[in-house]
Structure formats: structure tokens, C-alpha cells
Amino acid sequence: MKTFLQSVRYALQGLQAAFGGRNFRIQLGMALLVLAAGSYFSITRLEWCVVLFNIALVLSLEVVNSSLENLVDLVTRERHPLAGKVKDLAAGAVVVASGMAIVMGVIVFWPYVEAVVN
């Protein structure tokens, strides 16, 4: 049990480190806005599942991206094509997930916004 609790503490330290990153804070802020919109529009349970999954995916990938950036910086401070490629690939994963989250967000929220506008 002690090992499990230590693992949880290390994971929380990792999240605290992630919160120090500008991109993570921006994405977390956007997530809070989406959560507020979901509450305002009283979206369905299934829609909540879609929204929460996308938020978790984007934030998780940002943590992985930051981890890889830190690891690359630990290995070498010099510019190297492979180091740049690793960072670019990790950032690309965040962009893909963020883009899909936006598309799914439009699919979920558009009918609610349209109803308010009309």
C-alpha cells in the first residue's frame, strides 16, 4: 500500500509540474469554459462523456508532450534533428487531439447554440 500511495504522490507532483506549463494552463482554462458551457446548456450524459473524454485526452497528451520535451532537454541541449523531431511529433499529437476536440465540441454544442440564437 505504501508503494501505491507513493505512486499517487509522484503522479500528483507530475500534474503540479504540468500546471507550471503555459500550454497546459491555457488548455485547462479552455476546458473550464467548455465545462461551464456544458453545465449552462444541460448537455446529455452521452455528450458529457464525449466532452470529458476529449478534455482528458488533450490534457493527458499535453502532459506526455511536456514529458518528452523535458526528456529531450535532459539528453541534449544541443540542436539535433532527432531531438527536434521528437518534440515536433509530441506537439503534433496534441494538435491532432485538440483539433478533434474542437470538431466534437462543435458537434455537441452547435444545436444548443443554434437554439439560443434562433
Cell triple for residue 14?
507530475
Instruction: Tell me if 47 is assigned to a ligand binding site.
Output: no
Active-site residue, selected from the candidate residues 38, 54, 62, 97: 62
Instruction: Tell me if 77 is assigned to a ligand binding site.
Output: no
Instruction: Tell me if 40 is assigned to a ligand binding site.
Output: no
Instruction: Tell me if 10 is assigned to a ligand binding site.
Output: yes
Q: Which of 23, 35, 46, 31 is nearest to 93 (CA)?
A: 23
Instruction: Tell me if 69 is assigned to a ligand binding site.
Output: yes
* Residue 62 designated active-site: yes
Contact (CB, 8 A) for 90 and 69: yes
Residue 55 CB neighbour total at 10 angstroms: 20
Distance CA(77)–CA(74), nearest Å, equals 7
Instruction: Tell me if 112 is assigned to a ligand binding site.
Output: no
Cell triple for residue 1?
500500500
Please report, in range form, the residues annotated as the binding site for substrate: 62
Annotated binding site for ATP: 10, 69, 78-80, 87-88
Which residues have a catalytic role annotated? Answer: 62
Per the annotation, where are the binding residues for a divalent metal cation? Answer: 69
